[in-house]
Structure 1
Amino acid sequence: MNTTLTRRRVSAALAAGALAVSLGALAPHASADDGDGDGPFGPACASVPKEGAGSFDGMAQDPVATAAANNPALSTLVTAVKKAGLVDTLNNAEDITVFAPTNDAFAKIPKQDLDKVLADKATLTKILTYHVVDQPVHKADLSDGAFKTLEGGTLTTSASGETYKVNGTATIVCGDISTSNATVHIIDTVLMPK
């Protein structure tokens, strides 16, 4: 085998690898929290797409209801928001926080009960607006917080190590996601107003 050709191939491969690493280091990106307290945090953040409309960068460009529609894990929430007629309300609000239940959170509700709620606009609106706070709420605010919701009730938050709870029942599985008008904390349980 020609050693000059082999050296050239190895050199070209190393140069391409170095260029890819250099470009990767320069490229802006959002990822799960690396411990410095900035950016999204939580175990489910790893499943967020790295690029496109449903990525952290993509969601940061859109208002909250539109951003949620681009996240497959929130499709049941998006359906509920549409049925309640809250898309424009959420997209036009400023500096809100949404505690967004996943599809799995909705799946914990017996299907018959969920179907009944989805068919009752007043009850659905009450439940959904209980998940929205009219102020920014970030990771630093979650360790021992109480926040008034758009529904009129109060949500409480607490922390134990790196686990953050809402009302003592829902766990934040991916928090501090930015959209153009909101902070989103994805939770594993639907919250019910009193």
Structure 2
Amino acid sequence: MTSRLAATIGVLASLGTGLSTATNAGAADIVDTASATSTFKTFLAAAKTAGLTDTLKSGGPYTVFVPANSAFDKLPVDTREALMHDKAKLAQIIAYHVIPGKVLVSDVKPGKVKTMEGDPVVLKSDNGKITLNDEANITQSDIQADNGVIHEIDTVIMPK
């Protein structure tokens, strides 16, 4: 690659176009990005059990509201155990945490947004604090992946 082309790609990448000087080798999709921290182990195990890992690795772009391990710990133990053995229900819950498109926190517009599961999630913004369904808070935002963005949340949200 010529140095001029490399410089142009570098400038475009810094502007957020999604281009980078890296090849696809080593690309970090939603699953790989989430796997880089131990904070999302329970979500990743749930996505694997639900059969959604391949979707989160290859599709997109997605905005994924990933409950931290501590969010799953808030669920009663019997509920959490039952979910981890109910592939259909688990798939429904995981899909409820995913919306199509890449939405950064600065782009959040209050209101209902349709999830991959089909039911909407209600987003609210109050002085920079983003909540989902009046129950989950975004605690870490804009974790970039090649096929979307992850926002860490503090509560597992359930579809109606």
TM-score exceeds 0.5: yes
SS of the residue aligned with 1:192?
coil
RMSD: 1.6
Using the aligned pairs only, state the percent identity: 35
1:141 CA displacement: 2.9
**In 2: Cα distance, 1:141 partner to 1:80 partner:** 28
Who is 1:163 aligned against? Answer: 129
Task: Give the corresponding residue for 2:146.
Answer: 180
Q: Are 1:102 and 2:68 counterparts?
A: yes
Name the counterpart of 2:117.
151
Q: Distance in 2 between matches of 1:118 and 1:63?
A: 23
Amino acid at match of 1:69: S
Counterpart in 1 of 2:78?
112
- TM-score, with length taken from structure 2: 0.80
Larger fraction in helix: 1
Letter aligned with residue 96 of structure 1: Y
Structure holding more strand per residue: 2
Trace 1:18-167 onto structure 2 (pairs within 5 A): 61-167=27-133
Moved over 6 A (4+): none
Contact 1:143–1:164 (8 Å) recurs in 2 = no
Output the CA distance in 2 between the equivalents of 1:146 and 1:138. 16
Q: Which runs of 5+ in 1 are unaligned?
A: 1-37, 39-59
Between the aligned partners of 2:134 and 2:107, the Cα distance in structure 1 is 16
- Does the 8 Å CA contact 1:175/1:185 hold for their aligned counterparts? yes
Give the AA of the match of 1:152.
G
For the residue of structure 2 that corresponds to 1:137, the secondary structure is: coil
TM-score by length of 1: 0.67
* 1:143 Cα offset (Å): 4.5
CA distance, structure 2, for counterparts of residue 141 and residue 147 of structure 1:
13
CA distance in 2, matches of 1:89, 1:153: 19
Could you list the runs of 5+ residues in structure 2 that have no partner in the other structure? 1-15, 17-25
Structure 1 SS opposite 2:72: helix
Instruction: Write out per-residue CA displacement over residues 81-110 of structure 1, whole angstroms, 9 at most, x where no aligned residue.
Output: 111111111111121110000000000001
Please list the CA deviations of residues 154-179 of structure 1 after superposition, one character each: whole Å capped at 9, or x if unmatched: 01111111211111110000111110
Computing the radius of gyration from Cα coordinates, the structure with the larger value is 1
**How far does the alpha carbon of each residue in 1:117-142 deviate from its partner, in whole angstroms, 9 at most, with x for none?**
11000000000000000111121332
Distance 1:61 1:177 in 2: 14
